[in-house]
Amino acid sequence: MFRVNDNFCKLPSAYLFSQVAEKVRGYIEAHPGVEVIRMGIGDVTRPICDAAVQAMHEAVDDEADAARFHGYGPEQGYEFLRAAIAENDYRARGVEISESEIFIGDGAKSDTGKIGDILWPGSRVAVTDPVYPVYVDTNVMGGRGGDLCTDGYWSGIEYLRCDFDNGFVPSLPMGQPDVIYLCYPNNPTGTVLTRAQLAEWVDYARHNGSLILFDAAYEAYITQDDVPHSIYEIDGAREVAIEFRSFSKTAGFTGLRCGYTVVPKELKGHDGAGREVSLNALWNRRQSTKFNGASYIVQRGAAAIYTDAGKEQVRTTIDYYLRNAGLLYDGVRNAGLEAVGGKNSPYVWLRTPDGMTSWEFFDRLLDRCHVVGTPGIGFGPAGEGCFRLTGFNTYENTQKAIERLGKL
């Protein structure tokens, strides 16, 4: 019999959101007629904006016309979208990123998960704790996780704890990692790093020869002036960082699938012989071989969010979610709970009351308030005793959830 990649077998089989869905299904079956408000999974609920919908209708018509038909596109993405990104997401903020440094993909989950392809399998990895689980699981799949310990940590990964005590600002690593994953605004905690705080990480990476993988999937939610939208706003970041962006939470593309990855030309690693290698060239090689480009129609839709109408419509939707998140934060605090987030992020992260575990709180919230959230433990051991709520619901449901929480 042939052998499989054993690393996959090391991963625990249960997936957090399936567990949540199963519990909710069981609860609804046992309590028919109860109105459950879902504030668990991080999926958007508002429709795609008109400008993007219009552009996609036109793109469908292109595909129906022999003269305008598009088959396989460039693996790196269409020039019209790369140029719109360079202009609006970077140049407009004073950051120079060239089109050839931007790679359009089918979302930040795919790209943060696949980036390990171009890294040495023996690289030492550091992540924050709690963390978006994709970073950990994909490194385990790639053989960089070591073994799962009884305390829930992987022996091969350095965890940088973020909690209420350190204000959710992780300490710099002790173990000289080769690769550091940072996600800001953060999922799950909804917290951010200021420009000065992020600059410390860039300095660290420059002095230690580390690579920062910066996930900015929630960039569009930033409201504070001293919070950078891109890691490239920090001097020297072009030499040490790859940035991931997503149209999912910005423009409701969770179902359409589109995002992009920036790999600056200055970013260099080395091979086994100590020769300098361009990561931009490696990622380009990887994408050209394993990826055939995001759909033309979806890229047309994504480009439309950079038009004047698109920008305004997207802003309206993000403001809607931010209003919900703000309401949630205030409601949770008024209910006497400690919480962060909700200001530059759709997420609110709270400390469970009375020392409850995060699953105990999940059960209590579902049972007494009929509100579904996400147990913090699902994002790493430091998430125990914490809980995530999201602003991705209607305003009316958010109000209702807060009223119910007040009675808890």
For residue 118, the tally of other CB atoms under 10 A from its CB is 18
Nearest CA among 148, 165, 160, 246 for reference residue 204: 160
Contact pattern for ligand PLP over residues 205 through 224, marking x by CB under 6 A: ----------x-x-------
From the list 13-21, 103-111, 389-397, 400-408, the region that binds ligand PLP by CB under 6 A is 103-111
- Asked if 247 and 305 touch (Cβ cutoff 8 Å), the reply is yes
- Asked if 10 and 143 touch (Cβ cutoff 8 Å), the reply is no
- Asked if 215 and 245 touch (Cβ cutoff 8 Å), the reply is no
Q: Which of residues 279-298 bind ligand PLP (CB under 6 A)?
A: none
| 108 vs 382, beta carbon nearer ligand PLP | 108
| 250 vs 398, beta carbon nearer ligand PLP | 250
**How far is Cα 352 from Cα 249, in angstroms, rounded to an integer?**
26
| 139 vs 404, beta carbon nearer ligand PLP | 139
Q: Which of residues 122-141 bind ligand PLP (CB under 6 A)?
A: 132
**How far is Cα 207 from Cα 202, in angstroms, rounded to an integer?**
9
Identified binder of ligand PLP from the candidate list 55, 85, 102, 107, rule CB under 6 A: 107
Residue with tokens 């860039």: 202
Q: Shortest Cβ distance from residue 216 to ligand PLP (Å)?
A: 9
| 264 vs 346, beta carbon nearer ligand PLP | 346
Helix (H, G, I), strand (E, B) or coil at 100: helix
When asked if residue 187 is in the footprint of ligand PLP (CB under 6 A), the reply is yes
Nearest CA among 70, 117, 121, 78 for reference residue 289: 117
| 49 vs 369, beta carbon nearer ligand PLP | 49
From the list 44-52, 106-114, 330-338, 354-362, the region that binds ligand PLP by CB under 6 A is 106-114
**How far is Cα 36 from Cα 25, in angstroms, rounded to an integer?**
10
| 133 vs 152, beta carbon nearer ligand PLP | 133
Q: Shortest Cβ distance from residue 370 to ligand PLP (Å)?
A: 24
Q: Tokens in use for 361?
A: 């709180």
Q: Which of residues 1-30 bind ligand PLP (CB under 6 A)?
A: none
When asked if residue 108 is in the footprint of ligand PLP (CB under 6 A), the reply is yes
When asked if residue 86 is in the footprint of ligand PLP (CB under 6 A), the reply is no
Q: Shortest Cβ distance from residue 271 to ligand PLP (Å)?
A: 29
The answer for 43, left when phi > 0, alpha when psi is -120 to 50, beta otherwise, is: beta
| 16 vs 309, beta carbon nearer ligand PLP | 16
When asked if residue 183 is in the footprint of ligand PLP (CB under 6 A), the reply is yes
Q: Which of residues 35-54 bind ligand PLP (CB under 6 A)?
A: 42
Helix (H) or strand (E) holding 30: helix 16-30
Q: Shortest Cβ distance from residue 188 to ligand PLP (Å)?
A: 8
Q: Tokens in use for 197?
A: 């705080």
Q: Shortest Cβ distance from residue 107 to ligand PLP (Å)?
A: 3
Number of residues located near ligand PLP, criterion CB under 6 A: 13
Task: Please give the C-alpha separations between residue 403 and each of 330, 339, 406, 407, 408, in angstroms, as whole numbers.
Answer: 11, 17, 5, 7, 9
- Asked if 361 and 27 touch (Cβ cutoff 8 Å), the reply is no
When asked if residue 402 is in the footprint of ligand PLP (CB under 6 A), the reply is no
**How far is Cα 232 from Cα 95, in angstroms, rounded to an integer?**
7
**How far is Cα 225 from Cα 331, in angstroms, rounded to an integer?**
25
DSSP string, 234-252: STTGGGTEEEEEESHHHHS
Q: Shortest Cβ distance from residue 256 to ligand PLP (Å)?
A: 9
Q: Which of residues 351-370 bind ligand PLP (CB under 6 A)?
A: none
DSSP string, 171-223: PPPSS--SEEEEESS-TTT-----HHHHHHHHHHHHHHT-EEEEE-TTGGG--
When asked if residue 109 is in the footprint of ligand PLP (CB under 6 A), the reply is yes
Identified binder of ligand PLP from the candidate list 248, 280, 295, 352, rule CB under 6 A: 248
Identified binder of ligand PLP from the candidate list 98, 254, 284, 357, rule CB under 6 A: 254
From the list 82-90, 94-102, 105-113, 363-371, the region that binds ligand PLP by CB under 6 A is 105-113
| 89 vs 405, beta carbon nearer ligand PLP | 89
Contact positions toward ligand PLP, by CB under 6 A?
42, 107-109, 132, 183, 187, 215, 217, 246, 248, 254, 259
